[in-house]
Structure formats: structure tokens, C-alpha cells
Structure 1
Amino acid sequence: MGDVEVVRLLLEKCNHLDHTGAGSLTGLHVSCLAGHLEVTQALAQRGANIEARDAVSFSPLHVACLFGNESVVEYLLSRGVDVNIAGSVGERPLHLAAIRGHYKIVQMLLKKGARVRQQDEEGNTPLHCCVKIGHFGILNLLLQPQYRNDAHIANIYLDTPLHMACYEGWFECAKTLLTYGGSSLLLKENLWGETALHAACTGGQCIDLVDYLLSQDAAFVNYQGVDGHTPLHSACHHGHTRIVQLLLSHGADTNLTAHNRPDTNNHHHRPYTRLIANQRSHHHDKKVSTQDEQTALMWAYEQGHDDIANILKHYRRPGLYEDCARGDYLAGLDTSYFPIPSPLGKLRTMMQEKIDVLYLRSVLPPHLHLNLAEIENLENINSGSFGKVYKGRYNDKIVAVKRYRANMLYGKSDVEMFCREVSVLGSLDSPYIVKFIGACLHDPSQFAIVTEFVPGGSLFSTLHEQKRSIDTVTRFNIAIDVARGMYYLHTLPQPIIHRDLNSHNILLSSECRARVADFGESRFVRNIFEENMTKQPGNLRWMAPEVFTQCTRYSIKADVFSFGLCLWELLASELPFAHLKPAAAAADMAYRHSRPPLEMAFPVEVSVVLEKAWHKIPEQRPNFAEIIDELEILCANQKACKEGENDHLHPHHHHLHACISTCNGDSPSGSCTPPEAAQHISSELSGHVSALRNRWEQEASRGQTAFKSSHPTIEELRSRLNNNGYVEGNMYQYRIAPVFVRHRKPLL
């Protein structure tokens, strides 16, 4: 709070002035952060270390510069603190003041001898820092002649300060740097062959800046970097339509091609990372194509910028036709041409689909080749993005028919998914996997997969639509069946990763035994970390964090994470993160490490299994063999608890079962227990049963009564979702159904 009198009183009794707290911060660090000059003076005069370091090697001067506390900075400098003291990654106080735009502090540091050419571990000078954020005043200050700064100095990525200004679109900063450094700055290439003009076209932040750079030398419009790509390539790759139009109006050549060099093949522009104050920012991520001789048009196609591809496709070079004006297309995008998909990409996909289907026809045994006409009484029972699911009869058996649409959907072919699912299902034989009967492969309009019909429907439907009551032992048996099915997939000679395990894809038989289904997203795993995994397959709500965060090197442990969420859903009778949209739920789990709650209804042993399964580090998650062992122990314990509770009800608890049978009309002998006897048994047990029920309900609902009366429903919460899918206001709490039998002493 900055109460200097209290601080002085404490200092009289305290001999540990440099004692550290969270983040290794000393009291002097905290006072510098808060800007309390008198407290800072009191601590320093008492003998506090004015160059103490915190967890990231920041001194009190670093902290004061970062937070712009001018009076504190001035005092520390008067005490003779090292003005060029370095942090953990080489950042000096001048770096921090420059990036935060604290002009007066920069002045004070310069007067005390701060070195303007000092570089951090990424090679960034204070000039890079201030230009990155666009602090024009500090830029002019640092470029004053007495400081002998160098506008040509480059960081480890060979980015000059002009590159930084152009990536971020700081027009005035770029003009000043060119005035100071000269036109030779325009020819400087960074590590990825990008000049200042390339950088401005990649960033796309300021079209006036691009126009200004072009006015310096018209020839730069077709300047080719080390891999041959031009500014037009950069603008096309990043989808900056107006800049593409401007470049074309300045004579950009659409026929120039980019190519790969042996030393730059398959590289990516690494993001410009600033470790100052734990901040990271990205100025661009330009992909160099793996194909030789690619024009800007092909780069636009590859990235899906169909409006730009349309412009380039129909652009007429000036001078080729007498009636062609230089900027005909600049009237805008309201033309008679329609965006078209990349023909090369579409052709490749069509050829690959034909190859996949022909291969399936050759390797699938003849008895698995089916004709859709052979299946009788098709009845639509479900639908999805892939097509529809029907119930029918084949060879006197009830079957499920999953029909695919042979089309392209957002660049992902349904034919590809169909072929993958057939190839996976055709290799499986397990009582815990839905049984494959055959596939219709000959007519693309009738592509279908035929499997056994599982009458109980999906686990999702059972829990959330039908809301069926399931006892705890049955829930554990369902979980064990799923785990055994996944264990079978993961331990095949060529393991299979499911990638879409969720309650929709767990089917239940009439006896409530589970089978794993839907292998459209599955893959054969050739090694422990698959190199070519696609990004974000499956349902987002059950997706592992490493899959959601665009990682393509994930393992079979992603299935374990999804299983953990399914297990929680099964035991809680609640949809994971029901109050969030699927993408928001996945983001919460990936970036905030959120997980569904455990403390409200789950025994410790169950919580341990769940926490292991959805551990944020994939390698720390158990395999399914371990999960099966733990679930079987939990299931056995739950059975024992249930039987033990029944034993404690009354010596004549068997008569209770007889009474229940009587009420249901299913007495084993075919006769009914006399009403008088039933009434006698009922009155005799009523006290014990009521007591147990009351005690159990109080325990199970503890802490939830207030919630039910004061917290909003899921529908109310959904009405408060913001644009990112998060609920604004109070955190949602779950209404978890109590399903576990607790350990109790017998009632006497």
C-alpha cells in the first residue's frame, strides 16, 4: 500500500531485507513495481540490495523501467545502479523502456550511459524494440547523432529495424529509418529472403507504406528473394487483396516463380519472439512451397485465397491489348467471375480417391463386397456430416448401413474417410468393436459401410436424450468394455489410433454392453509419434489438448485423454463442459488446463483414474491395460459395497426382493405374495430403508442445494456466451447425478 511509516517500523525489527517471495521478488522489487518512491528510498537506505535479481534475473531497475515509474528510476540511477544490467535473456533496462514507450525513462537511461547498440539474446537492440511497437518519439531520440546508432543492425533472423516497422505497418517509423539509413536498407534481406517491401506485403498492415516503398524504386516490385519469391508472392500467400491489387497496378509480374534451394527447402519463417517480460509476438509465418517453380497464383490457390486467385487468373498485363487500361480490376471485386477451388489440388485429390477405392476393391475379400440393393427395409435412423445411417435387413440379420456422400467438404474428402473406415474395420475382430459385415464399393453414389446393428443406441443418446437410469456397476462395465476395445486397437501388430472417441461413438447393446464404433478418423500408427497426423480430427468437446493445439505429432495417448472425458461423462451423467461450445471447451482444456470437476460426487479412487487419464502431459497418461486393471478393481469394490449395504438392511432382506418381484408381477412361482404379508414386510423395513435413503441423499446432495436454487440453467448460460464461446459472469457448476454407493456403518 506504500505506507512508508509502517515499512520503517518493520525495518527496525527486520534483518532480512532481501528475503524473496513468489517469483523471487524482494521487497525492493515490489516497491519499484508499485512506484512507491519513499518505500524504495527507505529500503535502499537501510541496505537492501539495489541489484537483486528475481526469477527472470530482473533487477529493481528493470522492474521500474518496465512499469514506467519515472521517480523510482531516477532515484535508482542516482544510487549508481548499473544502467546496462542484463536480464535472463540479455534484455537491458533500455530495451524494456523502449518497448513500453516510456520516453522520459529512455532519456534518463541514455544520460546515464545506456548503450543503444546493446543486443539481447535474439540480437534485438532498443531500436528494434521501439519500432516493433511503433514508438515514433523514442525512435527519433535513439537516432540522434550523439548516440551513433546503426539503422542497419540486424538480429539473429537478419531483421533490421526497418523490417520490423514494415511487418507491423508503422509508416512514419519506416520513413524515418529510410531517411536515416539510406536506400540501401531496401536491399537488405532477412534470413528468409524478405526485403522491407516483402515484409510490408507479408504483414499487410498498411497499404500506404507499400505504396511509399514502391515509390522509392519501381524496380523493387519484382524483386526476388533468395528463394525467388516476390512481394506479390508474399501478399498472395497471406491473403492481402488490396495490396495484391496495388502491386499489380505498379507492374508486378505474375509470371515470376519461386523455387527451392537445397539450403532453404521446407523451411518456415520462425516467429519473431521477444522474451522481454515473457511476451511473444509473431510478425509472419510464411510457408515456402515444396513445389518447384510456383507462381504467385499457385501460392494463392494453396492457401485458399480464391478471390486473389480470381484476380490473378483474369488479370491482363498492360500493353498486351490496346483496349486494356492499367488498373481495370481496381474497381473492386464485383466482377462476373466467381471464386474457384484450386484445380491442381482438386485433381490430386480426385486421383488419390480413385487409387484408394481401386485398392480397397482389390484387397477386400469377395464376401465383404456388398450391393446396396441386397439390403431390405432401409429406415433412416441417424444423420451426420458424412451422410446418413439406416437400419435394414441383410441375410436375415438386422444391420446398420452408413452411407457416405462422395463429395468434397471444406477440403476434406468424404471418400477418403470412407476408404479409411473400410480399411480399418475390415482388419478388426473383437467383441468390443462394432462388427464389420461388408461395404458397397462399386458405385460412388452408393458408397456404404454395413455393420451389425447395436439396438441400444449411442451412450450419448442413453445419457443425455433418453436420460436412462443406469446403476453404477453397469456404468463401470460399459467403461471396461470401451477400455478393452481401445486396448485391442492399440495393441494390434499395426496399432490403430481412433482419434474420435466420444459418447456418440460408443454403442450399447440391449444388455448395456459397449462397442466402439465410427472409424472414419482412425489411422494406422506406424511409429509411436505419427509424423503426418492431420490437425483437429474428431469432436472438439472430447479432443486431447495436443490435438486441438494444431500439433501433428501426437500419439495413441490422445485416445486415453478422450476416454477420460467419456468415463467422467458416463459416471456423472453430464456432458463435459455442457455450458460451453465445443471449440471453447477444447480451448479451455488446452490453454487453461481446465478439467471437469471431481470433488462433488466421485470417490478418491475414481478421481485418481480420471486425473491420470486426462493428464496434460501425454506421456504421463496410463495405457489401457493399466486402466482396465484399475476399473475392474473399482467395479469389484462397488459390487461389494452394494452387496454389503443390502446385507445391512435387515435379516429378511430376501423378502424385500420377493416384495419387489410381487409389485412387478414376476413372482418366480407365478403366484403373488398375500397383500397382508407384503404390508407386514413393508412396515417392518420402512424405518431402515427410509433412514438409509435420507442419509444417502443428504450426503450425495451436500453442497448442491444452494446451487439448484441460485445458479442458472444451461440454457440461461448459453444465452450469455460471448463471441469466443465463453460464458460471461459466474462460473458454471455441474449437477452431477450421485451414482456411487458410499461406505457406511450398518444402522442398528
Structure 2
Amino acid sequence: MGNYKSRSRSTCSQELHKKILQNYVNLEHKMQEDLNVELENLTEIQQVCSNGSADQLAKHLNSETVGERLDNGMTLLHLCCLAAVSGKNDSVKELDCNDTEGKSNVSYNTSVLQLMRSPREKGDHEDRTREHVNEQSTKTRNREAREQIRLLLKKGADPAIISKNGFSPLHIVSYKGDVEIVRLFLENCSHLDHTGAGSLTALHLSCLSGQLEVTQALAQRGANIEARDAVSYSPLHIACLYGNETVVEYLLSRGVDVNISGSVGDRPLHLAADRGDYKVVQLLLKKGARVRLQDEEGNTALHCCVRNGYLNILNLLLQPQYRNDAHIPNVYLDTPLHVACYEGWFECSKTLLTFGGSGLLLKENLWGETPLHAACTGGYCIDLVDFLLSQNSTSVNYQSPDGHTPLHSAAFHGHLKIVQLLLSHGADINLTARDRYVPFDKKEEQTPLMWAYDQGHDSIANILKHFRRPGMCDEYARGEYLSPLDTSYFPIPSPIGKLRTMIQEKIDVLHLRTLIPPHQHLSLAEIENLENIDSGSFGKVYKGRFNDKIVAVKRYRANMTYGKSDVEMFCREVSVHGSLDSPYIVKFVGACLQDPSQFAIVTEYVPGGSLFSTLHEQKRSIDTLTRFNIATDVARGMHYLHTLPQPIIHRDLNSHNILLSNDCRARVADFGESRFVRNIFEENMTKQPGNLRWMAPEVFTQCTQYSIKADVFSFGLCLWELLASELPFAHLKPAAAAADMAYKHSRPPLDLSFPMEVSVLLEKAWHKIPEERPDFEQIIEELEALCKSQIVAMQDGSGHMSPHLHHHHHHHPLHVCCTTCSCASPTGSTTPTDSSQHTSSELSGRTPATLLLPSFRWNGHVTALRTKWEQEASRGQTAFKSSHPTIEELRSRMNNNGYVEGNTYQYRIAPVFSKHRKQTLQHY
């Protein structure tokens, strides 16, 4: 139920109610499985029961066949019931009122009334005619099914036999509401209260689906109206839970106990108030429901109705004749006002305060929180906080027994506007909180600033750190925990949290040392000529020499940055990366594990830098075939990760973590966020790991059970970025881009010059449903096919190259990465290709241009290869099917940012080639 800093958002009874509701949903799914059973491979008598007559059944029925059952346990009686109820509650499809073709010819003997009918009325007439025909057919089939059921019952068929899903024929017809067959069963069924799935009786099911006539028939024949199912719910509980008003009214008229207790002591009134069903609440109150009764967690009907903000029910329950008490607390000492404030219901809070008086504002719950604390913890309504602060009994600096104030609560939960409101009302930023369950000599005083730092709310921490109340000295504003001369912005560690983290870190490092082979235990002293080439939030990256080979050294800071330990990430990356061996993965050389101040990961040095740097910083031009080869390399690397005996999910695939060699071959790098897939089922996955701009929607939306298909989504964005040479959603900040993709289902625009195969692949890779995305084996096949078609096109076009293009690169250089060209390193210098770094195994499965096109002369800056893609684009052809919008249609819907509005997928109106490519093609 949370710690002294944070109250849990939901109580145990709420969690149980969620599970109960899910249980009923699952039971209804099972019922639908029985109702929609696939009638295949039936015996002759089973086919007759499904769609035959009573006479046909009589010919096949004997003592042996009467007991026949399907594989799912359903009997002949089940099949007859399915045939009888198949037309129940099925809606007739409405005709289009505008479809009046063929209705204009009116005969001379048509009445005036018929002539005056509108097309809609004519459609309604035909609709009624069709419905009448269907109704007659359904009635005929129902009549035959009832005759078959009578025949089966005479032969001794038992209507209480249940299927494998747990439902008898009586359960099915009670759920579907066929009262005639129910009465037929009641005449031949010895016991009406037999139970099935979830210990549900037929009466429970009729109340669940709101079948009043069936409920009446069952109750009149002696069905137990207070029977309990697996969660101790009576039929009245279920009718209230589903809001079936007429059924509730009938059960109450039969004298059922209106205050009957459920699984956790919840009464029907609790369920109706929680659902917000005003009429059902009225019925229960008229029959004597006691509003002050509490469930096992102490919740009254008041707690239940204000949890969801039902003001009309609250006003009804607070009427004098019901003698309600707004001061009654639950086991967590929450009054109804606490619950309303946690959920942010302004009007409900005002009503409770008017009814219960100002004494409610001073009530503390189990966490020592007053209603003002509760409103600041929930943070849903700033007007509610402002209203509570305006009350005379409220103190903005009220300290709970552990010392935390409303400002502590708002800072801990990240409610920036509420923090600003509290500060404007005089909240003291120097008041401290202590954990009352820790011995006094070990207690740690924590300010709101420390709570904000603890949760990573940087904007709030920055406000609290630099806040100075007018007229106060700087020392007061800064507090005792900061030096008066210090103006930097740094995290303040929590001693308790730091101690626990240090112990866990030592355990992780000791375990890691046993996993890594001895030859991979390195020391920074063994690495020569360290040169800083990059930096990040984790630390710095250096270039050095180890055993006469150039290596990259990723050094971690050995400290605690709140939310995730650097040591934790370091241990995870070493354990994951150390187990990998693939030419498409940056090679792991070793790790420095002895001294925490020297923690580092040593890998091979990839001289070409990152794909991000190549595309967006160096802005190098790359030919189409090389782009496809890079994408294929990345896909092979990800396929390797996903198909390991213990599959690995990367979780941070983006252009920063794709490194290029001198010949523009790609390797996947950076496994600080990676996890073994088995952890998905053992523990919750981290929320929002990796870079937001390339993040899959299911990861961004705080899901903790995502799969390897999240990597496929990130790959799709990398592929688009590689082909478009632009950042995905470059006009948006990373968080806004991720939010658009997750909640608006936006995707980067598909350029009209993309090949159709690429567009289709992208749409599949970033599908909003993870299961619909392809795996990397499929992606590799499609990319290899694109590479082959690209090579064929280049060979076909080789004879058309103009001789005068040989010197064109002096004016419009088109850098095409190949085995003889050079690429800039991250430091900006150029490094010649070292072909010795690549073994034949590394090149296996690849298609470098130099190996596939030996007839070409690769001179470092290859000029304007006229590929199939470019030929199609230059002729004005698009790579989309004819069903796609035309350029004119798209341009008419284009906004100021160049994006087309109104489509599930966006398109971009852009030139087919960049300026220098257009100029190059003019020389053909």
C-alpha cells in the first residue's frame, strides 16, 4: 500500500473488484465460445439437431445416440438450444436510405399515401418486409428446435450436463433469454441451481444479461434467489453490477436481502454506487439498504460513489432520512472527502465539506495525509487545491506525523502547477519529512526538493532550488542543505536509497565477475593513447589501442543518478554484450570490473562513426544500394539478437547506435538498455527505456509487457530515416514525436519517390498492433530482394552513362561509400579503409557494390548511378498503387509543415530528388 512518501493509487478492494469484473468478462467470452461453436465434422444426428426437424431427429434417436457429445463436451440438447437461440437479439442491418435506385417506377394503382412516402419511408418498408421474412424463418426454426428438445427430454436427455466451458443447456437459454425453452426445461429439470463455470447458476446468468422474463420464470419455480457464485455474489449483486434495473426491481419484490454481503463485504448498494446507477440506488434505498454499512476495507456507499465522482448519487445518499455520516473512515482512515480529493472531484468535495463541516479538513489518514495532501498527491484538479487553501481550517504547511507537507506530496508526484500554487500561498520549502518507521538516530530529513530529485522531476526541483520568497534572505530560500556559494544544478542523494543501491551494486558486480572469462577482464592501464571522441549521460567514449588494435572504451561514471543506477546499466550491458558474437554486432573485447571508478566496456573501434552522424552532421550522400545494404546489416544484427537461445530485446535501436565501417557496412551497438526476453515474464520491463524519437508506442505508453516487436518498430523508423536522410518528426521534440506516434498513430511521411516495396515494408514495421509487425527474418528477405533489383537496375543502366560525367563531382559531389572510399571518423578526420579488419565470415551474406559490380570503376566519388528507383521517379512515376491519392489531391490537403492532413498514414509533397541530383541527371 505504498511507503511513507506515497499512498497507493488503488486499494485492495479496488484491485479485487477489477479481478472480479475481468472474471465475469472471461466467463462471457467462454459463453460466446459455446454459442459460436464451429459445427464441423458432425455426425448425422448432430447435423439434424443443428438444422433439422423433430421428425428427422426421431428417425436417428435411440438409447445410444441420445448421449452423443462433441469434442467440447456439448450434448445434442446443447445443439438444439444453439439452433433455437441463434436468431435471438440479432439486429437487422439497416438499408441505406439514399439507395432509391429502381424505386422510381410507380404503378397507376398506387395509393396517394404510397406516392407521398419519402425514400426513407420506402426503405423502412422494405426493411420491415425483410425483417418480417427473417422473423418468420426464425420462428419456424425455433419451433422445430423446441420440438426436438421435447423429444430429447422424453428420451432422458439431461439439461444440467455442462460443456467443457462450464455451461449447461439451461445456462445457455437463460443467458440468451429464451423463456419458452427455459419453461420447457423447468418442467423436466430436477434441480434448478446446478452450477457451471464460476459457480454461476442459471439465475445468475439471466441477471447478468438482464433477462427479466427468464429471471421471473426461474424464481417462480423455486430457484435460489440468494445463491452465491465463486466470488460470493448473489443474483442481486450481479444485477446491480451490470445495472439491470428491471431485474433488480423484481428480485427486491421477491424479498431478497437488500443488504446481502459479497466477497469482501460489499453490498449491492456499494456496487450500484460505484457504477453510478442512480435508479438502482433509489430502488435499493427504498427497500431499506443501509448506507452506513461498510465492506471489509471499511468503505461505505459514500466512498464508492465519490471515487468516480457521481455527484447526483452523493446528494441522494446525504439526504437526512438515510442518516449518513461523512466522517466514517475506512481501514486506511480515508474519509469520503479524502477519496474525492485523491481523485480530484471538485463538486463532490465541496458537497462533502458542506455536509460534514470543516472538521473533515483536519482528518488524517493512515499516511498522515489531510484532504489537502490528498488533492496534492492526486494532482487532478488545481481548482480543488485552491478551494481547500481558501478554507480557514486549512494550513498550507500542515505537517503529517512524519513531517511531510502538501508541497512534499505535489513535488514527489510531479504536479508542477500545484507546486507553483502552493508556493504562491506561502508553502515553506525548508520543512523536512522523516520516515517514522526508521530508528530516530538513522532518520534522514528530506525537503520537498529532495523528494522531487528522488523522482526525477527536474522542472520542479529547479523551481524549488532557486525559489526565493519576496523579502526573504537568500539563505532562507536556499535552505541549510545547499552551500550559499553553490549555483549548480545537481542531484542530492538519499542516504537510505544510496546505501541500498550500493549493496545491490556490489552483488551485481561480484556476480558479473564470475560470468566474464578471464581474458576479458581488462584494466584501463592496458589501453594506450586514450583519446576522447564522444560523451553521453552514462560517461565518455575514448579511442585507444589494445594489443595492437584500435578499440573504443566506454567509461561509466560510478555514481547514482536517480531513477537508474549507472552501475546497474553497466552490469546489464556487460552481461548482454559479452554473450554476443556476430559480424553485425559491435565486437565485445572486454570490461574493466575491478575498481568502480574505472568501470568501462571495451569494444572494437568502428571508424565510420554513427549513422546519425553520417546523415545529419556530416550530411554525406549515400547511394541507394548502400542504404539498402546498411538496412540489411542492421536487420541481420537484430535477427541474431532475437533468435538467440535466450533472445535479447535491444530497446534502444536508433541511428546513434548504428555504427558504420569505412565501407559503410553497419553494426548494431550500445546494449545498455537491452534485456533478455525471459525477463518479460519474470518481472515488469522498464518503462520508457531508450530514445523517445525512435520509441515504439507500446513502450511510450508505460506498458511493461512489451515484446521484441518493439525493436521492429524502431527499425522501421531507422529505415525511413536512412532513406529520407531526415530525422523522424524533425519538427517535433522527441517526447512530442513519441506521443504523436502512440496516441495519434502518426507516422513519418511516406515520400512519393519511395519504391512500393519499401512503403509496404515500412507500414508493416510500424503497425500500431505489435503482433502485426513482421519479424526480422521476413524483413531481411524483402531487403535482400530490393538489393538484388537495385543491382540489376544499375547494371542495365551502365551503358547509358555519359563520358562527361567523369569530372562532375568537382561541382556536385555524390559520396558513394564503397571499399575504396574514405569516411570521416567521429573526430572529423578521415581514415583509410582497413580491409584486414574484415574477415570472409564478416562479408558472408553481404552484397557490397565492389564485389557485385566489378566492371565499374569505383574512384571514391562515383557519379550519378541511374538506378531503377531514380529512373521511375524521373519519369514521374510513383511507387504507390493507383488507389493512393494523386499529388494534386495531396497538395490540396497540405499544411504549413508540408504534411498532408486527414490520412492514417501521412504523405509528403516533396521533390523527387534533391537539387544536386536533379542537376546531375540533366547530364544524361
Q: Normalising by structure 2, what TM-score?
A: 0.48
Give the AA of the match of 1:418: F
Q: Is the 8 A contact 1:483 1:624 kept in 2?
A: yes
Could you say what secondary structure the match of 1:432 adopts?
coil
Q: Is the 8 A contact 2:276 2:310 kept in 1?
A: no
> Counterparts of 1:736 and 1:160 in 2: how far apart (Å)?
67
Q: Is the 8 A contact 2:752 2:912 kept in 1?
A: no
Alignment of 1:244-263 (within 5 A): 254=402
Residues 1:503 and 1:232: Cα distance change in structure 2 (over 3 Å): same
Structure 2 counterpart of 1:550: 702
Which residue, 321, 324, 328 being the options, matches 1:187?
Answer: 328
Structure 1 counterpart of 2:580: 428
Q: CA deviation at 1:379?
A: 2.8
Residues 1:737 and 1:536: Cα distance change in structure 2 (over 3 Å): farther
Aligned residues: 544
Q: Is the 8 A contact 2:530 2:542 kept in 1?
A: yes
Which residue, 196, 211, 226 being the options, matches 2:336?
Answer: 196
Q: CA deviation at 1:543?
A: 1.1
> Counterparts of 2:369 and 2:575 in 1: how far apart (Å)?
45
Residues 1:150 and 1:446: Cα distance change in structure 2 (over 3 Å): same
> Counterparts of 2:453 and 2:340 in 1: how far apart (Å)?
17
Q: CA deviation at 1:10?
A: 3.0
Structure 2 counterpart of 1:536: 688
Could you say what secondary structure the match of 2:777 adopts?
helix
> Counterparts of 2:291 and 2:621 in 1: how far apart (Å)?
73
> Counterparts of 2:358 and 2:734 in 1: how far apart (Å)?
50
Which residue, 10, 13, 26 being the options, matches 2:119?
Answer: 10
Deviation digits for residues 582-629 of structure 1 (CA, Å, limit 9, x no counterpart): 122222222222222336222232223222222222222222222212
Could you say what secondary structure the match of 2:759 adopts?
helix
Structure 1 counterpart of 2:377: 239
Could you say what secondary structure the match of 1:400 adopts?
strand
Structure 2 counterpart of 1:697: 874
- Percent of aligned pairs sharing the same letter: 53
Q: Is the 8 A contact 2:658 2:669 kept in 1?
A: yes
Q: Is the 8 A contact 2:750 2:908 kept in 1?
A: no
2:538 is equivalent to residue 380 of structure 1: no
Q: CA deviation at 1:565?
A: 1.5
Deviation digits for residues 633-675 of structure 1 (CA, Å, limit 9, x no counterpart): 221122222323335x3xxx6xx5x76568789xxxxxxxxxx
Structure 2 counterpart of 1:575: 727
Give the AA of the match of 1:345: G
Could you say what secondary structure the match of 1:379 adopts?
strand
2:790 is equivalent to residue 631 of structure 1: no
> Counterparts of 1:387 and 1:736 in 2: how far apart (Å)?
41
Alignment of 1:214-363 (within 5 A): 221=363, 235=373, 239=377, 254=402, 306=451, 336=479, 342-363=494-515
Structure 1 counterpart of 2:590: 438
> Counterparts of 2:771 and 2:503 in 1: how far apart (Å)?
38
Structure 2 counterpart of 1:267: none
Q: CA deviation at 1:704?
A: 7.1
Give the AA of the match of 1:630: E
Residues 1:701 and 1:579: Cα distance change in structure 2 (over 3 Å): farther
Q: CA deviation at 1:537?
A: 0.3
> Counterparts of 1:663 and 1:220 in 2: how far apart (Å)?
82
Q: Is the 8 A contact 2:273 2:313 kept in 1?
A: no
Structure 2 counterpart of 1:522: 674
Q: Is the 8 A contact 2:696 2:714 kept in 1?
A: yes
Could you say what secondary structure the match of 1:451 adopts?
strand
Residues 1:460 and 1:735: Cα distance change in structure 2 (over 3 Å): farther
Q: CA deviation at 1:154?
A: 9.3
Q: Is the 8 A contact 1:507 1:514 kept in 2?
A: yes
Give the AA of the match of 1:588: D
Could you say what secondary structure the match of 2:118 adopts?
helix
> Counterparts of 2:871 and 2:638 in 1: how far apart (Å)?
40
Q: Is the 8 A contact 2:240 2:268 kept in 1?
A: no
Gaps of 5+ in 1: 1-5, 20-56, 59-85, 95-116, 132-137, 256-290, 310-332, 666-687, 718-725, 742-748
> Counterparts of 2:734 and 2:690 in 1: how far apart (Å)?
11
Q: CA deviation at 1:517?
A: 0.3
Q: Is the 8 A contact 1:612 1:622 kept in 2?
A: yes
Q: CA deviation at 1:508?
A: 0.6
2:761 is equivalent to residue 609 of structure 1: yes
2:567 is equivalent to residue 415 of structure 1: yes
Q: CA deviation at 1:737?
A: 6.1
> Counterparts of 2:872 and 2:702 in 1: how far apart (Å)?
49
Deviation digits for residues 306-349 of structure 1 (CA, Å, limit 9, x no counterpart): 2799xxxxxxxxxxxxxxxxxxxxxxx97946596554333221
Deviation digits for residues 180-230 of structure 1 (CA, Å, limit 9, x no counterpart): 33345643749x885425414533666878877886878994666xxxx66
Could you say what secondary structure the match of 1:239 adopts?
helix
Residues 1:12 and 1:357: Cα distance change in structure 2 (over 3 Å): closer
Could you say what secondary structure the match of 1:515 adopts?
strand
Q: CA deviation at 1:414?
A: 1.4
Give the AA of the match of 1:10: P
Q: Is the 8 A contact 2:551 2:605 kept in 1?
A: yes
> Counterparts of 1:469 and 1:403 in 2: how far apart (Å)?
32
Q: CA deviation at 1:464?
A: 2.0
Q: Is the 8 A contact 1:573 1:737 kept in 2?
A: no
Structure 2 counterpart of 1:495: 647
Could you say what secondary structure the match of 1:187 adopts?
coil
Give the AA of the match of 1:356: D
Q: Is the 8 A contact 1:171 1:208 kept in 2?
A: no
> Counterparts of 2:517 and 2:284 in 1: how far apart (Å)?
80
Deviation digits for residues 4-57 of structure 1 (CA, Å, limit 9, x no counterpart): xx99633454344869xxxxxxxxxxxxxxxxxxxxxxxxxxxxxxxxxxxxx9
Residues 1:602 and 1:625: Cα distance change in structure 2 (over 3 Å): same
> Counterparts of 1:88 and 1:645 in 2: how far apart (Å)?
75
> Counterparts of 1:599 and 1:420 in 2: how far apart (Å)?
39
Q: CA deviation at 1:367?
A: 2.8
Structure 2 counterpart of 1:100: none
Deviation digits for residues 338-378 of structure 1 (CA, Å, limit 9, x no counterpart): 59655433322121112222333343233323332433333
> Counterparts of 2:357 and 2:496 in 1: how far apart (Å)?
36
Q: Is the 8 A contact 1:546 1:590 kept in 2?
A: yes
> Counterparts of 1:631 and 1:204 in 2: how far apart (Å)?
52
Residues 1:662 and 1:308: Cα distance change in structure 2 (over 3 Å): closer
Residues 1:292 and 1:251: Cα distance change in structure 2 (over 3 Å): closer
Residues 1:301 and 1:159: Cα distance change in structure 2 (over 3 Å): farther
- Give the number of the structure whose alpha-carbon radius of gyration is greater: 2
Could you say what secondary structure the match of 2:876 adopts?
helix
Alignment of 1:124-203 (within 5 A): 125=272, 129=276, 162-163=302-303, 166-167=306-307, 177-178=317-318, 180=320, 181-184=322-325, 186-187=327-328, 189=330, 194-200=334-340, 202-203=342-343
Residues 1:424 and 1:527: Cα distance change in structure 2 (over 3 Å): closer
Q: Is the 8 A contact 2:368 2:402 kept in 1?
A: no
Could you say what secondary structure the match of 1:636 adopts?
helix
Structure 1 counterpart of 2:850: none
Q: Normalising by structure 1, what TM-score?
A: 0.58
* Higher deviation after alignment, 540-549 or 619-628: 619-628
Q: CA deviation at 1:481?
A: 0.8
Give the AA of the match of 1:404: Y
> Counterparts of 1:571 and 1:733 in 2: how far apart (Å)?
14
Gaps of 5+ in 2: 1-114, 129-208, 211-237, 247-258, 260-265, 380-384, 404-434, 455-475, 483-491, 811-864, 880-885, 918-924
> Counterparts of 2:398 and 2:448 in 1: how far apart (Å)?
24
